[in-house]
Amino acid sequence: MIENRPLLTIFSHLMLILGVVMIAFPIWITFVAATHTDIRMTQIPLPLLPGGHFFENLDLALNKGLSGQSGQGVTRMLWNSLVMAMMISVGKIAISLLSAFAVVYFRFPFRMFFFWMIFITLMLPVEVRILPTYEVVANLGMLDTYWGLSIPLIASATATFMFRQVFLTIPDELLEAARIDGASPMRFFWDILIPMSRTNIAALFVILFIYGWNQYLWPLLITSDNDMYTVVMGIKQMLEAAEQAPEWNVIMMTALLAMIPPVCVVVFMQTLFVKGLTETEK
Amino acid sequence: MLKNVHFGPSVLPFLLVAPQIIVTIIFFIWPAGQALYQSLLIQDAFGLKTEFVWLENFGILFSEEQYRNSFGRTVVFSSLVAILSMSFALILAVLADRVIKGAGTYRTFLIWPYAVAPVTAGALWVFMFDPTLGIVTYGLSAMGYDWNHKLNGGEAMALVVMAAAWKQVAYNFLFFLAGLQSIPKSLIEAAAIDGAGPVRRFRDIIFPLLSPTTFFLLVINIVYAFFDTFGIVHVMTAGGPAGATNILVYKVFSDGFVGLDLGGSAAQSVILMIIVIGLTVVQFKYVEKKVAY
Tens-digit pLDDT profile for residues A90-124? 999 999 999 999 988 888 888 889 988 888 888 88
What is the CATH number that goes with domain A80-204? 1.10.3720.10
Comparing C-alpha atoms, which of B164, B158, B174 is closest to residue B82? B164
Closest CA to B77 of B143, B157, B184, B134: B157
DSSP 8-state code for residue A215: -
A135/B contact by beta carbon, under 8 A: yes
Q: pLDDT tens digits, residue range A53-69? A: 788 778 777 877 776 55
Give pLDDT, residue B10. 81
Tell me whether residues A44 and B92 touch, CB distance under 8 A: no
The DSSP output letter for B258 is I
Q: How far apart are CA B65 and CA A102, in angstroms?
A: 50
**B47 interfacial to chain A (CB closer than 8 Å):** no
pLDDT at A40 (0 to 100): 77
Residue B184: inside a domain: yes
Contacts of A116 in chain B (CB under 8 A): none
Question: With an 8 Å Cβ cutoff, is B190 touching chain A?
Answer: no
Tell me the C-alpha to C-alpha distance, in Å, between residue B195 and each of A158, B192, B202, B212.
45, 5, 13, 26
Rounded to whole angstroms, the Cα distance separating A90 from B107 reads: 28
Residue B29 maps to a domain: no
Q: What is the pLDDT of residues A126-143, one digit of tens each?
A: 877 878 888 888 888 888
User: Residue B57: inside a domain, yes or no?
Assistant: no
Packing angle, helices B12-24 and A75-105, rounded to 10:
140
Q: What is the structure's pLDDT at B251?
A: 86
> Does residue A125 sit at the B interface (CB-CB below 8 Å)?
yes
Domain limits for position B254 = 70-287
Residue A210 C-alpha, separation from nearest chain B C-alpha, in angstroms: 6
Question: Does B130 map to a domain?
Answer: yes
Q: Which of residues 81-110 of B touch A (CB under 8 A)?
A: 88, 91-92, 95-96, 98-100, 102, 106-110
CB contact under 8 A, A23 and B169: yes
What does the domain layout of chain A look like in residue ranges?
6-75+224-281, 80-204
- Cross-chain residue pair B20–A99, CB shorter than 8 Å: yes
Q: In total, how many domains does chain B have?
A: 1
Q: Chain A residues with CB inside 8 Å of B124's CB?
A: 26-27, 29-30, 255
Per-residue pLDDT of chain A (282 residues; tens, 9 = 90+): 566 778 888 888 898 899 999 888 999 988 888 888 777 777 777 777 887 778 877 877 787 777 655 557 788 889 999 999 999 999 999 999 999 999 888 888 888 899 888 888 888 888 778 788 888 888 888 888 889 888 888 888 888 988 988 888 888 888 888 888 888 888 889 988 999 888 889 989 998 999 999 988 889 888 888 788 888 888 888 888 767 767 888 888 888 989 999 999 888 888 888 888 877 754
At B34, the amino acid letter reads: Q
Beta bridge partners of B52: B41
Is residue B24 a part of any domain in this protein? Answer: no
Tell me which chain A residues have a C-beta less than 8 angstroms from the C-beta of B132: 44
**What is residue A135's three-state secondary structure?**
helix
Q: What CATH number should be reported for the domain holding residue B240?
A: 1.10.3720.10
Q: How many CA atoms lie within 13 A of B123 on its CB side?
A: 35
Bridge partners, A199 (sequence order) = none
Contact criterion met (CB below 8 Å) for B102 and A13: yes
Instruction: Decide if A235 and B257 are in contact by the 8 Å CB cutoff.
Output: no
The Cα-based distances of A43 to A38, B8, B138, B149 in angstroms read 9, 73, 11, 20
Nearest CA in chain B to A263: B115
B116 touches chain A (CB under 8 A): yes
CA neighbor of B96 nearest in space, from B198, B188, B174, B166: B174
Whether pTM exceeds 0.90: no
Query: Three-class SS of residue B50?
Result: strand
Decide if the complex's ipTM is over 0.95.
no
pLDDT tens, position by position, for chain B (293 residues)?
667 667 777 888 889 989 999 999 998 888 888 888 888 877 666 666 677 777 777 887 888 888 888 889 999 999 999 999 999 999 999 888 888 777 788 888 888 888 899 999 998 998 888 888 888 888 888 887 888 888 888 889 999 999 999 999 999 998 998 888 888 888 888 888 888 888 888 888 888 888 888 888 898 899 889 888 888 999 888 877 888 888 888 888 888 777 667 777 888 888 888 888 888 888 777 765 544 43
